[in-house]
Structure 1
């Protein structure tokens, strides 16, 4: 599949103006790991243009509750589709039902130890203690072959597995960003058809957001090219700039 440059699509009038943006965070909104002034201004510009933004991230429940409160966004989905934090709400909404949280965490810990027995170099992520639905360890430049082996091991144990440029995730098998986003759109934003939503990302854990059967208008920021051969689905369009600058490029076209 050929990734179409975003500028080319807009010049050729192949682009349909979205009414809602659903975007990954790390490597998509961030620039070298931080939010920039340009990014915050872009989010303000989208708010002024009445284009809601949903953050769809693999980051933990503990981190994401703050994002939904302080950023000018309509809400944030945490843990790759596990939880949703609506704007101006103190409570999270479970997107992956878990009947016994303590037992669930114990089972995730056991799965992690199974991986660690074969890959002793992996280290639990610093934010793992703030998680509810998944278990994470740092992606310390693991090779594709190692990641594929981890995926197979998790599947044999009944778990799902995904990764980004930052972290690897052991998760419920059916939990992913697209499933969580579709549920949030149905329950909280029913006025928006999927054809009016643009999804944005940069990593393998964003691949479900690039599924054209679910979200026909998707954008990868330029650094998605680092993973293009590892993606089950590829974005429809690609920005010229990488990371947060790529997201700001998209917003400039929209606003």
Structure 2
């Protein structure tokens, strides 16, 4: 990884290919868990520059359905690729194939109880009740070894497992951010190719967005460096600042490149 800079070669490459930004939310757009005035201004600058923004988050369907109506974005993917909320529609588009939501939720609950029998310290996330496709519990004081064990257990029960700076996720095997984003681009933004999309993130559940074979242009805000050894793929560039300040740094950089 290299730090994002004003290097002219990087600048030319970024501005030549960039048409859309797909970004994580928690730890990437937020600052200490909150949206800042600077972040909202940065999103407005992108809108004025005709660079659409998609949020790609692990947060729940319930939370994202509200956010997409208030932020200046084109849409939002929730639950690590489970659903898509277009900004101009009220109903979500399911990206994962789930035959029956009630049965699916019960199966997730059963899996969580099996995990809890070994990890009694885990607690269901506050937003889990507002979820449809995945199940979450708080990522509090879990070691890397414990997270690996949780991944092994979920895999043995035919589920996928991932985690961010705030939550752990039990989800369908084929559900992740990159798969969901590619599907949304194909169905809702066919004018954009993956190589024209700048992906931004900060955590292990963003790793698929850093896959250079899918998205060659990717940026991690500086706190991604906390997970360097845990990422399957690493971002092409890293900002100097952390969290939402890093995203604002990126937007300012792109503004300067664009003249």
Q: TM-score range by the shorter chain?
A: over 0.9
Change (3 A) 1:9 1:131: farther
The aligned counterpart of 2:89 is 89
Indicate if the aligned counterparts of 1:161 and 1:168 stay in contact, CA closer than 8 A. Answer: yes
Deviations 1:136-177, CA, capped at 9 Å, x for gaps: 000002100000000000000000000001000000011000
Deviations 1:11-44, CA, capped at 9 Å, x for gaps: 6546322110000000000000000000000000
- TM-score, normalized by length of structure 1? 0.97
Structure 2 unmatched runs, 5+: none
- TM-score, normalized by length of structure 2? 0.96
The aligned counterpart of 2:101 is 101
Indicate if the aligned counterparts of 2:82 and 2:133 stay in contact, CA closer than 8 A. Answer: yes
Structure 2 Cα separation of the partners of residues 59 and 221 of structure 1: 18
The aligned counterpart of 1:59 is 59
| Deviation at residue 188 of structure 1 after TM alignment | 0.6
Structure 1 unmatched runs, 5+: none
| Deviation at residue 216 of structure 1 after TM alignment | 0.2
Deviations 1:97-156, CA, capped at 9 Å, x for gaps: 111110000000010001000000000000000000000000002100000000000000
The aligned counterpart of 1:115 is 115
Change (3 A) 1:224 1:10: farther
Change (3 A) 1:131 1:140: same
Count of matched residue positions in the alignment of Structure 1 and Structure 2: 253
Indicate if the aligned counterparts of 2:58 and 2:79 stay in contact, CA closer than 8 A. Answer: yes
The aligned counterpart of 1:146 is 146
Structure 1 Cα separation of the partners of residues 76 and 10 of structure 2: 33
The aligned counterpart of 2:29 is 29
Indicate if the aligned counterparts of 2:6 and 2:253 stay in contact, CA closer than 8 A. Answer: no
The aligned counterpart of 1:235 is 235
Indicate if the aligned counterparts of 1:27 and 1:202 stay in contact, CA closer than 8 A. Answer: yes
